[in-house]
Amino acid sequence: MKPIFYRPAQLRGLAFLGLLLSALAILGGMIWRNVHHFETVFSYVNYSHRIQNVSVGLQQSLIEYLTETVSGSRPEALTKTLGEMDALMMDNRYLSAATRTSLETVKSMLIDLPLLKKEEKYNRLLTALKLMSETLDNEALQREELLEDISRDTQTELYMALAIFTAILVVAVLFLRLRILHPLNDLRELLQRLTEENFTPITTDHLDPLLLPVFNSYNEMVKHLAELEDANRLHAQSLQHEVRLATQALLEQQYSLARADRLAAIGEVAAELAHEIRNPLAGIQMAFNNLRREIDDIDQLERLDLINAELKRMARLLNDMLDQSRHSPEVATAFDVRTLIRDLVALTRYQIAESIHLEIEAPCALPVHLPESGVRQALLNLILNAADALEGNPGTIRIRARTDKQGLRIDVQDDGIGFPQDMLEHGIRPFRTSRQRGTGLGLAMVQRFVKDVGGTISLTNQPTHGACVSILLPNDCIVRDKL
């Protein structure tokens, strides 16, 4: 994998380091210049103080000459002042030519001062004081000019530094905005496109080389994501096709089971009919045998034998029909009714209209020991009957499962027109239905299964509208320990 910090990144890092060092150099230069100006001002102030000390020394010398008691002696203040004047003239840093000339003139006027008469001493001292006063005035003007020059230079340097810092800041902000923040904002928008499943790569011709690896990685990522999205889409389509095939197979099996149950119900009805016919047929056979013993005519006996043979054949057919109608019950297994209802609802969702809403009210697990296929087929018949009762109109089918003191209770409710009064009064009977395309066997098969497991089934209409089929299974089928 190529590192992000390759040559363009290094160059920009060096450029940023150069800008930082330049800013530090400018700041250091300003500090050095301010220190230099401070030292200059401090030195010049000392120099001015020394000139002022010379002037003060002259004033003290004048006072001493005015108060002298020994004629012809040199006052101590004058000697000290002449020494300071020699030291000043030896310092060439700030001493101007005019000041030097003034100091030399004053020195020449004071060097032979003790040899002069008193009046001439006063005149020379006064002249020297006047000349030093003018010199001090000139030095004050020069000091003000120096301070103004220093102030002007300092302001100029400050403005230049501010201008340079502002330029560096503007360049840095523009670079950061145009080369960094703007592409990163584009990257944020690109990531937003990813949430919208837009995997289109972007062009990288206009990008800064520093961010080029990031956007190249983005293009590789979206390319890989697009491939994964295509693979997931194909996989999802394949799964949907497999689910559709499996659902179709399950529906076909359910239809086959329903048809088998209908045939079983028909067989049950036929068995009941055969049982009801066999009893009077046995009486007919007994009466016929008694009648045959009373007749002696051979021709009539032959005819009676033919009739007797047909009666026996009818008896054999009825017995064979009853033998075939006897079926072995399904083996009971342990399972969870709530899980079965959820699976059944997911399956019937493909069989009923989308406008019909299915609701499940089973707050906890309901482990039972029952024939699972029988329970599944019974509930499927009830749900499909409820969907048919809605006649394609929007509505709700509610499946409630719970346990109470009597056993396991399962209610299937709908928002249809309800059961007719005849069915509520006479109960469930085979081949009796209120729907035009109904067979009248669905509820009969449910009733037969419920009775086989020792339960009961009841039909009611809801107070507002709709029907409710309630199944009550005995406590023996409930598994007290959870699966």
* Tokens describing residue 22: 């330049």
* Tokens describing residue 329: 């019950």
pLDDT band at 98 (very low <50, low <70, confident <90, very high): confident
Least confident of 4-8, 95-99, 120-124, 184-188: 4-8
| Pairing of the two strands 407-413 and 333-336 | unpaired
Q: Which amino acid is at 130?
A: K
For residue 395, which of 420, 417, 424, 419 has the smallest C-alpha distance? 417
> How many other β-carbons are positioned within 10 Å of the β-carbon of residue 338?
18
Judge whether 408 and 337 are in contact, CB under 8 Å: yes
Rounded Cα gap, residues 322 and 312, in angstroms: 15
At 2 the pLDDT is: 46
Place of tokens 């904002």: 185
Rounded Cα gap, residues 374 and 449, in angstroms: 7
Higher pLDDT, 44 or 28: 28
> How many other β-carbons are positioned within 10 Å of the β-carbon of residue 454?
13
Judge whether 411 and 362 are in contact, CB under 8 Å: no
Q: What is the pLDDT of residues 332-390, one digit of tens each?
A: 889 999 999 998 888 787 778 888 899 999 888 889 999 888 888 889 888 988 888 88
- Secondary structure, 3-state, 312-375: HHHHHHHHHHHHHHCCCCCCCEEEEHHHHHHHHHHHHCCCCCCCEEEEEECCCCCEEEECHHHH
Higher pLDDT, 75 or 17: 17
| Pairing of the two strands 333-336 and 356-361 | unpaired
3-class DSSP state of 271: helix
CA-to-CA separations, 390 to 356, 386, 416, in angstroms, rounded: 8, 7, 5
Judge whether 471 and 455 are in contact, CB under 8 Å: yes
* Burial call 175-212: b when 16+ CB within 10 Å, e when fewer: beeebeeebeebeeebeeeeeeeebeebebeebbebbb
Q: What is the pLDDT of residues 305-335, one digit of tens each?
A: 777 777 776 777 777 666 655 555 668 889 9
DSSP conformational letter for 111: H
At 62 the pLDDT is: 64
Residue 451: partners with Cβ closer than 8 Å, 6 or more residues away: none
Rounded Cα gap, residues 277 and 265, in angstroms: 18
Judge whether residue 435 has pLDDT over 70.
no
Rounded Cα gap, residues 481 and 483, in angstroms: 7
Over residues 116-124, the mean pLDDT reads 73
Over residues 454-460, the mean pLDDT reads 91
3-class DSSP state of 467: strand
Over residues 286-307, the mean pLDDT reads 78
For residue 422, which of 410, 396, 408, 440 has the smallest C-alpha distance? 440
What's the topology of domain 256-325?
A: Helix Hairpins (1.10.287)
Rounded Cα gap, residues 282 and 284, in angstroms: 5
pLDDT band at 470 (very low <50, low <70, confident <90, very high): very high
Q: Which CATH number fits domain 333-477: 3.10.450.50, 3.40.50.880, 3.30.565.10, 1.10.8.60?
A: 3.30.565.10
Judge whether 406 and 475 are in contact, CB under 8 Å: yes
